[in-house]
Structure 1
Amino acid sequence: MRPKIYLFGDSITEESFSNGGWGASLANHFSRTADIVVRGYSGYNTRWAVKVLDKVFPAMDEAAPMAVTVFFGANDACLDDRYAAFQHVPLDEYKQNLRFIFSFLKSLSGGGIEHLTNLQDLHISHCDLLDLEEKENMPWKSLHSLSSLRLRYLPKLVNLPEGLQHVTTLRSLCIHSCKKLKTLCSLQSLTELVIHWCNKELRDRCREPDGEDWPKIRHISHLDIR
């Protein structure tokens, strides 16, 4: 059975397979590796999305999604004194609903990123709850085609993903505003490393010539650490 990527959201997701839509582009990109499943609900806010979670996603005894996009917020943001007030969701409830949705998705069994063997560029940004540490199975080592990785605004990122050191195709790594990142692993294939606005401890570890992590990065031709 081919892995599946679910697109879960409001009308922006529902219409993503229209001419030139982002859903159609995803389907084209993953045409040989995964099926794109659209679950878009026009007019829905996060309050209503929570109520349909168990109908949208597979039962626990089926294969879990390889990946899921969650795209809600436009309807939640409707003003509560206008005609669409019935769609309005207060900000605190909106946050709570998103946390519930993410917790539900994390509870689904099965892997995910290890199926993206043809993925070349990956950008992960502004994910407050995302924890990339997976020490048992090291799914990152399966990304045999990954050449560029961007990690931005990940407050839970303490260490780089286990297994990333085995991705021999990785050439470019950019890390931005990951305030808790403590250290780097050895990435011998890198030709570019950019680290901006993380923390002083990491900068000191990467300092030439006596930083603790300097031996891991001294071979990289383009270094930009600030």
Structure 2
Amino acid sequence: MELSIARQFKNKVQNVINHRLLKQGKVLDIRYWPNSPLIEIDLHLPGAAMHQWSEVPAIKFNVGEWYFRDYTPFGWDAETSTCSLLIDAAHNGPGSCWAKSLTIGQTVQYLKTESTHQTPHGTHLVVALGDNTSLAHLLALRQMTLPAIRFTCAVLTDSAATGQLLKSYFPWSPALHLNEDALVNWLLTEQYCTDHTSFYLTGNKALVVRLRKVLKSLGHFNIKIKGFWG
């Protein structure tokens, strides 16, 4: 059957993107977290200028025909041009399906690396709050916070199993909560200094909006927001 004019045009545009704009990398390793929707993916991206990353980065990956998704590397090594992703694959969207389909040694394509325009405050206590969708962003903030003692974190996680894995996989322990009310109550009891604390709110829209309202009601104003929703 002859392709429609619209389809032919889309194919030509896709070919231009693939051949002229997309960069390539390789999957080095994949780790599926047991009893958790999280997938950890190690990549070699020789075209990414990681030594220039002064703010938390995001990489726009080609996850399917006409589909691109931004993912934040939660750790990277500029010397070897390697980085790791931590993807919440709980939903059957293009990004989740792409992450689940990857195999070791497979080539991945990405359009560009850009900044999320978030960087830890230079002297404040950095308080990062998020959920499963933004774990990589929280971890990247921690990597960029020096000294690390200035960083603290609380996470709304999907299950106790994911929480236990977080504690065992990383050398620091975020405060873990299984529902929004518990996270809000934790925040209300911490009594952070208004003038010397910066908050970084990440994750789904409803969570970010609620946490921002709570912080403002407490008089906090150093609040940065990064959403991870549609």
Considering the TM-score relative to the shorter chain, is it more than 0.5?
Answer: no
TM-score (norm 2): 0.27
Which structure shows the higher strand fraction?
Answer: 2
Which structure shows the higher helix fraction?
Answer: 2
Q: Whose relative contact order is higher, 1 or 2, with alpha carbons under 8 Å and at least 6 apart?
A: 2
